[in-house]
Structure 1
Amino acid sequence: MEQEQVVRVIPYELVEQIEDTSEVPGGVELIQAPKIWDKTMGKGSTIAVLDTGCDITHPDLKDRIKGGKNFTGDDGGREDIYQDYNGHGTHVAGTMAASMNKQGVIGVAPEADLLIVKVLNKNGSGKYEWIKNGILFAIEQGADIISMSLGGPSDDKDLHDAIKLAVSKNIQVVCAAGNEGDGDDKTDELGYPACYNEVISVGAINLQRRSSNFTNSNNEVDLVAPGEGILSTYKNGKYATLSGTSMSAPHAAGALALIKVLTEESFGRKLTGAELYAQLIKRTIPLGYTPKLEGNGLLYLTAIEYLTDIFKKEAAALLVHP
Structure 2
Amino acid sequence: MLKKGSLRLMIFLLIFVSVTGTGMAESEEPQEYIIQFQDDIPAKVLNELGFETMYTYSSIDSVAVKGNSTQLALLNNQTNILSVTENRPVQASLTPQTVSWGYEPIDAPQMADAGLTGNGVKVAILDTGIDTDHPDLKVAGGVCVAESCPAGFDDNNGHGTHIAGIIAAQDNEIGVLGIAPNVELYAIKSLDKNGDGSTATIIAGIEWAIQNKMDIINLSVTTTANDSALQRILDRAYQQGILLVGSGGNNGTAAGTENNVMYPAKYPTVIAVSSVDEELKRVSTSATGYEIEIAAPGDEILSTFPSDVLINGSQSNGYAVMSGTSMAAPFVTGMLALYKEKEPAKTNAELRTLLQQNALDLGVAGKDNLYGYGLVQGLSELTDSDGNQVAVTSVANGKVQMEITANELVQTVSISRGTKPVKSLAEGTFTDYVLAGQYQYLFNFHYADGSKVTVPVKVDVPAPKFSDLSMNQWFAPHIVYLYENSILAGTTTTTMEPDAAITRAMAVAIIGRAIGLEGEKRSTHFSDVGINNFASGYIQSAYEKGILVGFPDGTFRPGQEVTRAEMAMLIAKAYQLEDATPVAFPDVNQRVSGYEAIYKIANANITSGYLDGEFKPYEPMKRSTFSVFIARAQNPLFIDNE
TM-score, normalising length: structure 1: 0.86
Aligned to 1:285: 360
CA distance in 1, matches of 2:379, 2:350: 18
Deviation at 1:91?
0.2
Identity percentage over the alignment? 35
Write the letter of the residue equivalent to 1:278. T
Write the letter of the residue equivalent to 2:195. G
State yes or no: 1:66 paired with 2:140.
yes
Aligned partner of 1:130 among 201, 208, 212: 201
CA distance in 2, matches of 1:197, 1:15: 31
Larger RCO: 1 or 2 (CA < 8 Å, sep 6+) = 1
CA distance in 2, matches of 1:293, 1:131: 27
Note if contact 1:5-1:125 (Cα within 8 Å) is conserved in structure 2.
no
Aligned to 1:319: none
Write the letter of the residue equivalent to 1:15. Q
Aligned to 1:244: 324
Counterparts of 1:200-279 in structure 2 under 5 Å? 200-236=271-307, 238-264=318-344, 270-279=345-354
Gaps of 5+ in 2: 1-30, 33-85, 308-316, 383-389, 391-439, 443-453, 455-642
Write the letter of the residue equivalent to 1:252. V
Write the letter of the residue equivalent to 2:95. E
Deviation at 1:186?
1.9
Aligned to 1:104: 175
State yes or no: 1:191 paired with 2:262.
yes
SS in 1 for 2:102: helix
State yes or no: 1:13 paired with 2:89.
no
Deviation at 1:191?
1.2
CA distance in 1, matches of 2:221, 2:263: 8
State yes or no: 1:176 paired with 2:247.
yes
CA distance in 1, matches of 2:141, 2:158: 18
SS in 1 for 2:260: coil
Deviation at 1:59?
0.5
Aligned to 2:378: 301
Note if contact 2:169-2:176 (Cα within 8 Å) is conserved in structure 1.
yes
CA distance in 2, matches of 1:300, 1:96: 14
State yes or no: 1:41 paired with 2:117.
yes
Note if contact 1:284-1:303 (Cα within 8 Å) is conserved in structure 2.
no
Note if contact 1:167-1:173 (Cα within 8 Å) is conserved in structure 2.
yes
Q: After alignment, is 125-134 or 25-34 more displaced?
A: 25-34
Gaps of 5+ in 1: 18-24, 265-269, 317-322
Deviation at 1:72?
1.1
Deviation at 1:271?
1.2
After superposition, the CA RMSD in angstroms is 2.0
Note if contact 1:6-1:128 (Cα within 8 Å) is conserved in structure 2.
yes
Deviations 1:237-263 (A, max 9, x none): 610111100000000000000001112
CA distance in 1, matches of 2:380, 2:300: 23
Deviation at 1:235?
1.2
Tell which structure's C-alpha radius of gyration is larger.
2
Note if contact 2:335-2:377 (Cα within 8 Å) is conserved in structure 1.
no
Deviation at 1:173?
0.4
Counterparts of 1:78-89 in structure 2 under 5 Å? 81-89=152-160
Aligned length: 292
Deviation at 1:302?
5.0
Deviations 1:199-248 (A, max 9, x none): 10000000111111011001100010000010100012610111100000
Aligned partner of 1:57 among 112, 118, 133: 133
Deviation at 1:32?
1.2
Note if contact 1:285-1:303 (Cα within 8 Å) is conserved in structure 2.
no
Deviations 1:60-101 (A, max 9, x none): 11x2x110011113335x7xx111111100000000111101
Deviation at 1:181?
0.3
Deviation at 1:5?
4.7
SS in 1 for 2:103: helix
SS in 2 for 1:294: coil
CA distance in 1, matches of 2:154, 2:343: 34
CA distance in 1, matches of 2:329, 2:149: 28
CA distance in 2, matches of 1:170, 1:72: 25
Aligned to 1:29: 104
Counterparts of 1:141-180 in structure 2 under 5 Å? 141-180=212-251
Write the letter of the residue equivalent to 2:92. V
Deviations 1:281-303 (A, max 9, x none): 12201112461001000112155
Aligned to 1:22: none
CA distance in 1, matches of 2:189, 2:336: 21
Note if contact 2:87-2:200 (Cα within 8 Å) is conserved in structure 1.
no
Aligned to 2:49: none
Deviation at 1:304?
5.7
SS in 2 for 1:291: coil
Write the letter of the residue equivalent to 1:288. G
